[in-house]
Amino acid sequence: MHFYSSAVVVIALASMGNAQSQYTSTGTAAVAQARATALTLSPTSSVKGKTFDRFVTIWLENTDYDMAAADPNMQWIASQGITLTNYEAITHPSQPNYIAAVGGSTHGFTSDNFGTIDSSVQTIVDLLEAKGISWGEYQEDMPYSGFEGNYVNQQTGANDYVRKHNPLISYDSVTSDVDRLAKIKNFTMFYSDLEANKLPQWMFITPNMTNDGHDTSITTAGSWARSFIEPLLTNPNFMSNTLVLLTFDETESYVSDNDVFSVLLGDAVPASAQNTSNGTAYNHYSILATVENNWDLGNLGENDVGATPFY
């Protein structure tokens, strides 16, 4: 029994042709066809910010603060930046946290189930584009740019790329625009954009279900995170007055206070602040407030308004 393309899924896709039908899982024939024509865009820009000129957030999964803080690779990452010791996720489970981080609200999402948000609802993308600031998402193992379904490992059938960990993909204001979909890319594109010095100024990075710790442990997630970040710290195509936030979507425990281990790093963090900690109360809405403040973007009129920016 192989997990290769299921004729049933492919037929459903052809007849329904919408994101809901793709949500279950997508067969390889349909993917190969769509991949051949998927639009991919990598626009760049160089709009100066107050504190940084590039913002990157990398999200890991479902780990209690103490577990993350005890991991040796996370400790190494922390030594390179500022550990935020009082940073709270918004809710449980995963999906509404991701949605909140780009839209300032969970927009009624209370589960990981498929859903979409009305096209009248704005996200950080609207604010960035209004100021000419380039943006992109990098989602590991997404089979092609703008893909709206879920995707399993084609050899093992294991969950690999999941829509619920893609913050912008549930917003119709993003998915109804082909140029926006074309900036929701995978890690193949991350490395080719890096190599070509075409990374955008705002990035959201989601590793796959193995590397983010969701289907594994903090040991795997910590090891992946260090192996991903360490070479980037000295890569000038990535580090150009860049602020990086490494965080977790939520804690594993549903009864804890949902404080997640988070580190700010990058060459925008002053050298004197490396290997320090900061106990200011932040949360995932601080991500929006930080970016809005840095580039004078205005706001979304949601929970971004009252949130405390990192800078």
Ligand X SMILES: *[C@@H]1O[C@H](CO)[C@@H](O)[C@H](O)[C@H]1NC(C)=O
Q: Applying CB under 6 A, which residues contact ligand X? A: 35, 38, 40, 79, 82, 141, 143-145, 153, 158, 160, 186, 188-189, 208-211, 264, 275, 278, 280, 310-311
Residue pair 161/149 in contact by the 8 Å Cβ criterion = no
Q: Which residue number, 122 or 186, has a Cβ lying nearer to ligand X?
A: 186
* DSSP reduced 3-state for 219: helix
Token pair for 6: 């299921």
Distance CA 46, CA 158 (A): 39
Q: Which residue number, 42 or 91, has a Cβ lying nearer to ligand X?
A: 42
Q: Which residue number, 235 or 253, has a Cβ lying nearer to ligand X?
A: 235
Minimum Å gap between C-beta 310 and ligand X is: 4
Residue pair 247/52 in contact by the 8 Å Cβ criterion = no
DSSP structural state of residue 217: -
Residue pair 95/89 in contact by the 8 Å Cβ criterion = no
Q: Which residue number, 91 or 290, has a Cβ lying nearer to ligand X?
A: 290
Minimum Å gap between C-beta 106 and ligand X is: 25
Q: Which residue number, 35 or 50, has a Cβ lying nearer to ligand X?
A: 35
Minimum Å gap between C-beta 105 and ligand X is: 24
Minimum Å gap between C-beta 132 and ligand X is: 24
Residue count of the chain: 311
Distances (CA, A) of 30 to 7, 160, 303: 10, 17, 39
Distance CA 236, CA 191 (A): 14
Minimum Å gap between C-beta 144 and ligand X is: 3
Distance CA 1, CA 274 (A): 51
Residue pair 293/311 in contact by the 8 Å Cβ criterion = yes
- Count of CB atoms situated within 10 Å of the CB of 33: 15
Q: Which residue number, 98 or 187, has a Cβ lying nearer to ligand X?
A: 187
Q: Is 177 buried (19+), middle (13-18) or exposed (0-12) by CB count in 10 A? A: middle
Q: How many CA atoms lie within 13 A of 300 on its CB side?
A: 28
Is 215 one of the catalytic residues? yes
Distance CA 78, CA 72 (A): 10
Options 126, 172, 177, 215, the catalytic residue: 215
Minimum Å gap between C-beta 249 and ligand X is: 17
Q: Which residues are identified as catalytic? A: 215
